[in-house]
């Protein structure tokens, strides 16, 4: 792995039983960059995040993070590696019985020996970075969807990770909150020098903030490039996905017999 890459994925295959999900995936993700992973539902995007985090093991090939093959790490080594990673789940996944402050402080209290006075300063710093220092006493039930996502983002940077993975961070957000979250991902990535991997269906917002895009279709990399290259792609799947067209390689109709034939079959049973 070259020193500029934090994540390297080579020849990665993964299956659930007989069902093949990922087929020979190759990717590189550089330090300090925002990388989007896009594709249709069920294409293996979230599974890829699980492989990077070591939650599942590949059938073959490997994922390297900071030069180490993830699936070869022993249990203690994997936990140490995960200390350098963070995850922002689709709907934030805040602890509902903890305040905003305590949600962000949780990892610091769990994984460090920092004094409470320092934890307080660090939590307020993280919340200030996402614009919610004044909301530190609120409970999750008192937050809007966009605010909850921002608190989750503050929690995800609590231990200054090298890598953050975002699983559909824009889902369910209004246009203002969506733009705020997108800009925060970009600014925090630049300010902290970390690598951000964003799994998303929101093409237009993502293309504003990312450096590289990987499209996955049928378990393989269908396209890869910069936002400008993706916008101008004539590859049928990429063009359909970027422009949200109803029909193309991803068909509107589920495979079926000819419509006229099915109607005739129905008549024969009448």
The domain segmentation of the chain, as residue ranges, is 5-84+161-234
The mean of the pLDDT values for the chain is: 85
pTM value surpassing 0.85:
no
Asked if 16 and 192 count as a contact pair (C-beta separation under 8 A), the reply is no
Edge-first strand listing for the sheet containing 60-65:
19-30, 5-16, 60-65, 68-69
Q: What is residue 101's predicted lDDT score, i.e. its pLDDT?
A: 95
- What is the pLDDT at residue 180? 87
Q: Cα(241)–Cα(73) distance, rounded to whole angstroms?
A: 37
pLDDT at residue number 237: 67
Neighbours of 65 (CB within 10 A): 25
CATH number of 5-84+161-234: 3.40.50.300
Interatomic CA distance for residues 145 and 176, integer angstroms:
11
What pLDDT sits at residue 176?
84
Please give the structure tokens belonging to residue 258.
Answer: 């000819």
In the numeric block, which tokens belong to residue 247?
């029909």
Q: What is the pLDDT of residue 2?
A: 46
Kindly report the backbone phi and psi dihedral angles of residue 235, in degrees, each rounded to the nearest multiple of 5, phi listed first.
-60, 130
Cβ atoms within 10 Å of 36's Cβ, excluding its own = 25
Tens of pLDDT, residues 144-184: 888 898 899 999 888 889 999 998 888 877 888 888 888 88
Give the residue among 123, 97, 127 at the shortest CA–CA distance from 112. 123
Residues of the chain with pLDDT under 70: 1-3, 90-92, 236-237, 239, 241, 243-255, 264-270
pLDDT of residue 253: 63
Q: Looking at residue 208, what is its pLDDT?
A: 86
């Amino acid at each position: 792995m070259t020193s500029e890459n934090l994540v390297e994925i080579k020849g990665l295959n993964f299956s659930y039983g007989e069902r093949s999900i990922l087929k020979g995936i190759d990717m590189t993700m550089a330090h300090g960059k925002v990388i989007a992973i896009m594709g249709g539902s069920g294409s293996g995007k979230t599974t890829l995040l699980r492989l990077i985090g070591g939650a599942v093991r590949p059938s073959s090939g490997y994922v390297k993070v900071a030069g180490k093959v993830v699936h070869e790490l022993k249990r203690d080594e994997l936990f140490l590696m995960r200390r350098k990673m963070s995850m922002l789940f689709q709907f934030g996944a805040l602890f509902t019985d903890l305040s905003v402050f305590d949600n962000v402080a949780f990892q610091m209290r769990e994984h460090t020996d920092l004094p409470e006075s320092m934890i307080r300063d660090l939590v307020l710093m993280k919340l200030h970075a996402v614009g919610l220092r004044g909301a530190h006493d609120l409970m999750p039930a008192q937050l809007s969807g966009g605010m909850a996502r921002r608190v989750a983002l503050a929690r995800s940077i609590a231990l200054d990770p090298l890598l953050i993975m975002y699983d559909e961070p824009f889902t369910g957000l209004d246009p203002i909150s969506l733009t705020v979250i997108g800009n925060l991902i970009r600014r925090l990535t630049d300010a902290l020098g970390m690598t951000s991997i964003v799994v998303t269906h929101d093409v237009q917002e993502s293309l504003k903030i990312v450096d590289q895009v990987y499209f996955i279709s049928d378990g393989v990399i269908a396209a890869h490039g910069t936002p400008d290259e993706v916008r101008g792609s004539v590859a049928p799947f990429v063009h359909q996905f970027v422009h949200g067209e109803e029909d193309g390689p991803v068909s509107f109709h589920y495979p079926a017999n000819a419509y006229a034939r099915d109607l005739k079959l129905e008549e024969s049973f009448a």
